[in-house]
Structure 1
Amino acid sequence: MTLQGSLPPATVPVTMDGSRILVVDDDAGIRALLSDFLEQHGFVVTALANGAAMDKALAVQHFDIAVLDVMMPGEDGLSILRRLTARGGPPVIMLSAIGSDVDRIVGLEMGAEDYLPKPCNPRELLARIRTVLRRHRRAAEAPEPQGERLRFAGWHADMTTRLLTDPDNVVVTLTDGEFRLLRAFIEHPRRVLSRDQLLDYSAGNDSESYDRAIDVQVSRLRRKLDRGAKADGADELVRTIRNEGYMFTAEVRPA
């Protein structure tokens, strides 16, 4: 078994959440362990062995979050993650027996919300799942400013539709996390923001304090913004301030 800890006794009270969780792992024992554990905590779990089975499930059912193993025969978890991110699938938490920083960063750069090394305690996975779900629910339920369109350095951002266009009027696709981070920057332009501030502004009080996760998210956003900035002859829009954090350098105005 590659997960730590044991299942809680059946008498443990749980809060009925009702969120649908998709678990994809080729290890039948892990699928059974996670299914039993998460179901005892009020979740509806579908546990599958591979990406092909996942595709069939996603075609007929909505899932609130997915837990993917990285090392699987056939299509691996990172390839599945890439496909899910490209088509706007559910947020993803990766599980992997390869627990190095490099592999964790790769997973985060590809769009994973979180990354846990195996073996992990099911209770820690449960806590991470709840954190990701709360973050996404808060983002979905937060009232959007009506008709708020902003421009900066030739870019246009529609905060209502979450549509971002570059100086050539090409739409740039952002993940939910990248858009929340962009909002934090353009709502606090030309100010140095620490990693803790960016976590607060982009994720809220339920976020975990992962400095490296913020660095990865900033790196992904910066690559997308710098492409348009350099084409427009402008300086980088997100500047690293050594030992302090990051600064959004552009002036932001109503569009």
Structure 2
Amino acid sequence: MTIDPEPTPLSGAPLIVLVEDDPAIRTLTTRALQQNGYGVRPASSAPEMWRALEAGPVDLVLLDIMLPGTSGIDLCRALRQQSDVPIIFVSAKGSETDRVVGLELGADDYIAKPFGTSELIARIRAVLRRGALDRRHGRPEQGLLTFDGWQVNLSRRELKSPSGSLVDVTGAELDLLVSLLEHSGRVVARERLIELSRTRLGDSSDRSVDVLVSRLRRKLSHGETPAPIVTVRGIGYMLTAAVTRS
């Protein structure tokens, strides 16, 4: 069966760019997405992905990690430099390291092969629903969050140290920090942090949240002053600093 490389979606249907180099998987996934009401622009490599994105606005990118030439990791990094389009990584590699790397680069979710159509559609709907909630709630958020001399610029998505220098944080780290700042002084369960974060951090049974918290602590340590994030054993994390919003 031949799939039209640029099928016409139903009016108003979300449009997905599917980047998958395996012809059989690309065909089956395209068909499954179309049967569930999505428009699809299939691509098998980096050049085809860029052409698909240039063809018009898209709502989501399904991006395989193992691609010929430029890898999905490199494509995600490049895409995040110019677009906030939701990204779901799709790969046979399902290790925790791969998930964390993908999330730190700005991916919104991660699904490992082999996967069922129902799981894929559920994850796509969840990511698109989070994006719709962001728009409904007026994101990107405005204003500044200040704590212990640190400052988070919500609209620019920047973190400044007490000395005024910009701190290099990933999208996943910043989303996690904002979630803790918005619940300062309260213990936030790991499961709740996953729900609150704009970026999907992974399942509560894995260590994605713990890894990101550990990296945040290192970046928020200032001189001999430790980061104001404490672990509440068996429950989750709490930010102990007072937070002001302006």
Q: TM-score, normalised by structure 1?
A: 0.78
List gaps (5 residues or longer) in structure 2: 1-9
Quick one: which of 89, 108, 113 aligns to 1:113?
Answer: 108
Post-superposition offset of 1:119: 1.5
Equivalent residue number for residue 90 of structure 1? 85
- CA distance, structure 2, for counterparts of residue 151 and residue 16 of structure 1: 44
Instruction: Give the residue type in structure 2 aligned to 1:210.
Output: D
Separation in 2, partners of 1:33, 1:78: 23
The change in CA–CA distance for 1:54 and 1:173 in structure 2 (over 3 A counts) is: farther
Q: Aligned residue for 1:216?
A: 208
Q: Which residue of 1 aligns with 2:4?
A: none
SS at match of 2:221: helix
Q: Give the share of equivalent positions with the same residue, in percent.
A: 34
2:229 alignment partner, one of 233, 238, 253: 238
Match of 1:79 in 2: 74
Q: More deviation in 156-165 or 59-68? A: 156-165
- Give SS of 2:152's match: strand
Structure 1 unaligned segments of length 5 or more: list them: 1-14
Deviation, 1:48, is 0.4
SS at match of 2:226: coil
CA contact (8 A) 1:195 1:211 kept: yes
- Which residue identity does 2:149 align to in structure 1? G
Whole-angstrom CA distance in 2 between matches of 1:146 and 1:247:
22
With the length of structure 2 as denominator, give the TM-score of the two structures: 0.80
Matches within 5 A, 1:1-255: 18-143=13-138, 148-159=143-154, 162-172=157-167, 177-202=172-197, 210-212=203-205, 215-217=207-209, 219-220=211-212, 223-224=215-216, 226-227=218-219, 229-255=220-246
Q: Deviations over 1:77-116 (max 9, x none)?
A: 2222222234334222112222333433333333322222
The equivalent residue for 1:6 is none
> Helix, strand or coil: the match of 1:190?
coil
> What secondary structure, in the 3-state scheme, does the structure 2 residue paired with 1:211 have?
coil
Q: Which residue of structure 1 lines up, in the alignment, with residue 6 of structure 2?
A: none
Q: CA deviation at 1:253?
A: 2.1
> Equivalents in 1 of 2:166, 2:108: separation in Å?
23
Matched-pair contact (CA < 8 Å) for 1:172–1:224:
no
Q: Deviations over 1:34-58 (max 9, x none)?
A: 2222122221111001012212332
**RMSD of the alignment, in Å?**
3.1
Q: How far is 1:129 from its partner?
A: 0.5
Distance 1:221 1:245, change over 3 A: closer
